[in-house]
Amino acid sequence: MRFKRAKTTSDTATCAEVMKHLQSYIDGEMRDDVTARRVAAHLEMCRRCGLEFETYKRLKNSLQQLGPLDQQAISRLSQFAQSLGEREDGDEIELG
Amino acid sequence: MLDGVSSAMTKLSKRSRKASFDKYVVPELELLYRVALAMTGKPENAEDLVQETLLRAFRAIERFDGRHPRAWLLTILRNALANQVRKKVPLPVSDVDESGNPESVSDHRDSPEFQVVDQAFDGAVAAAFEELPGKFREVVALVDISGMSYAEAAARLGVPVGTVMSRLHRGRTRIREGLKSEELFVEGGQV
Ligand SMILES: [Zn+2]
């Protein structure tokens, strides 16, 4: 099907093509500049694909903020958790 | 004598409380810290938030039925954060943290409403990321968190680039599906 696109303008990808390349497009991993431009052109005009793009871009953006976990913080929290179990007066503990 | 009885009961309840806490809460520490970090954006705030969550969980553990500990803990964390936000937004300077610095509201990315949506989204993504099966999570971690190219991730894992692409896509799709079912993210609507 991908090769039968005589009716669509060749500088705009179809929805199916966009879905196929969307992840690579978001990651800047598209090998083929012509296809990348056609995807970009399609995203400009198709609301459904545009929303899909925005959603995955936002997801990636959010994932990028997850760094490696600070193991020292984890062990401090683990000690804190331990200390809760050892208190006589769990209900009376107040945080500073 | 009554004192003796009540102290024995206290010890018993203390022990079962600790046992439940160790069973349901302690294994989720990393998840909680991960989500807290995503929602607060700052390590020191994340640590405070997890402490507050642990404390609340400890107090409530006897009423917890043992089902879905993650969801239960994330609800506690969300409430603890909402409580902090309510306290902080109207009176930014009245709140002073342990180091004596006023919590600054200028850190907030936008209006409080926007921030809550972003926080919820980031927190839900962090939780969904933690839920991913290992082979998807490692690819997402290499590409999205460590910023590797597909080729670098493929070389690191010793798999073809096509495998990286398909695992990455499936991993992200799973995260997205996770967001839909996660009540953490209700506003925004487009996910
Ligand atoms: Zn489209």
Q: Quick one: pLDDT band at residue A76, thresholds 50, 70, 90?
A: very high
Cβ contacts of B47 on chain A, cutoff 8 Å: 73, 76-77
Residue B187: its pLDDT value, please?
A: 41
DSSP one-letter code for B66: S
**Highest mean pLDDT of the ranges A39-53, A76-90, B96-110, B111-125:** A39-53
Residue A2: its pLDDT value, please?
A: 53
Do B188 and B123 reside in the same domain of the chain? yes
Q: Mapping DSSP to helix (H, G, I), strand (E, B) and coil, where does residue B96 land? A: strand
pTM attached to this predicted model: 0.70
Let me know if residue A62 belongs to a domain: yes
The CATH number of whichever domain residue B151 belongs to comes to 1.10.10.10
Let me know if residue B95 belongs to a domain: no
Total tally of structural domains belonging to chain B? 2
Do B15 and B82 reside in the same domain of the chain? yes
Q: How many CB pairs under 8 A join A and B?
A: 104
Tokens of A31: 């090998």
For residue A76, which phi and psi values (nearest 5 degrees)?
-65, -40
CA distance A3 to chain B (A): 22
Residue of B nearest to A55 (CA): B191
**Highest mean pLDDT of the ranges B4-18, B29-43, B76-90:** B29-43
Whether the pLDDT of residue B92 is over 50: the answer is no
Residue A51: its pLDDT value, please?
A: 95
Which parts of A1-96 are beta strand (E)? none
H helix or E strand, kind and range, residue B73: helix B69-88
Put simply, the answer to whether B29 touches A74 (Cβ < 8 Å) is yes
Q: Quick one: pLDDT band at residue B184, thresholds 50, 70, 90?
A: very low
Residue B77: its pLDDT value, please?
A: 94
DSSP one-letter code for B146: S
Let me know if residue B100 belongs to a domain: no
What ipTM does the predicted assembly reach?
0.74
Angle at B94 between CA B92 and CA B97, to 5 degrees: 90
Contact predicate B46/B31, CB 8 Å: no
Let me know if residue A91 belongs to a domain: no
Range of the domain at B129: 110-191
Q: CB of B132 within 8 Å of any CB in chain A?
A: no
- Domain closes at, from B87, B119, B148: B87
Residue B174: its pLDDT value, please?
A: 94
Q: Quick one: pLDDT band at residue B88, thresholds 50, 70, 90?
A: low
Q: CB of B37 within 8 Å of any CB in chain A?
A: yes
Q: Mapping DSSP to helix (H, G, I), strand (E, B) and coil, where does residue B100 land? A: coil
The CATH number of whichever domain residue B58 belongs to comes to 1.10.1740.10
Gap from CA of B105 to ligand 1 centroid (Å): 40
| Beta-carbon-side half-sphere exposure of residue A43 (alpha carbons within 13 Å) | 19
Put simply, the answer to whether B145 touches A64 (Cβ < 8 Å) is yes
Put simply, the answer to whether B59 touches A90 (Cβ < 8 Å) is yes
DSSP one-letter code for B99: T
Whether the pLDDT of residue B108 is over 90: the answer is no
Let me know if residue A58 belongs to a domain: yes
Position with higher pLDDT, A2 vs A66: A66
Do B114 and B190 reside in the same domain of the chain? yes
Position with higher pLDDT, A70 vs B150: B150
Nearest residue to B152 (alpha-carbon basis) of B141, B163, B161: B161
Instruction: State the best of B42, B55, B62 to mutate against chain A, taking most chain A CBs within 10 Å.
Output: B55
Cβ contacts of A66 on chain B, cutoff 8 Å: 34, 37-38, 125-126, 129, 144-145
Position with higher pLDDT, B81 vs B100: B81
CA dist B146 → A65, B152, B153, B162 (Å) = 10, 11, 10, 19
CA distance A26 to chain B (A): 11
Instruction: State the best of B9, B18, B167 to mutate against chain A, taking most chain A CBs within 10 Å.
Output: B18
Instruction: Convert the pLDDT of each residue in B38-78 to its tens digit.
Output: 888 888 999 999 999 999 999 999 899 988 898 899 999 99
Average of per-residue pLDDT values in chain A: 84
Instruction: Flag the least confident range among A37-51, B48-62, B95-109.
Output: B95-109
Cβ contacts of A86 on chain B, cutoff 8 Å: 18
Cβ contacts of A74 on chain B, cutoff 8 Å: 29-30, 33
Total tally of structural domains belonging to chain A? 1
Gap from CA of B169 to ligand 1 centroid (Å): 18
Let me know if residue B65 belongs to a domain: yes
Let me know if residue A5 belongs to a domain: no
Let me know if residue B71 belongs to a domain: yes
Let me know if residue A4 belongs to a domain: no
Residue A88: its pLDDT value, please?
A: 53
Residue of A nearest to B100 (CA): A96
Do B83 and B115 reside in the same domain of the chain? no
Residue B188: its pLDDT value, please?
A: 42
Instruction: Write down how long chain B is.
Output: 191
Contact predicate B144/A60, CB 8 Å: yes
Let me know if residue A56 belongs to a domain: yes
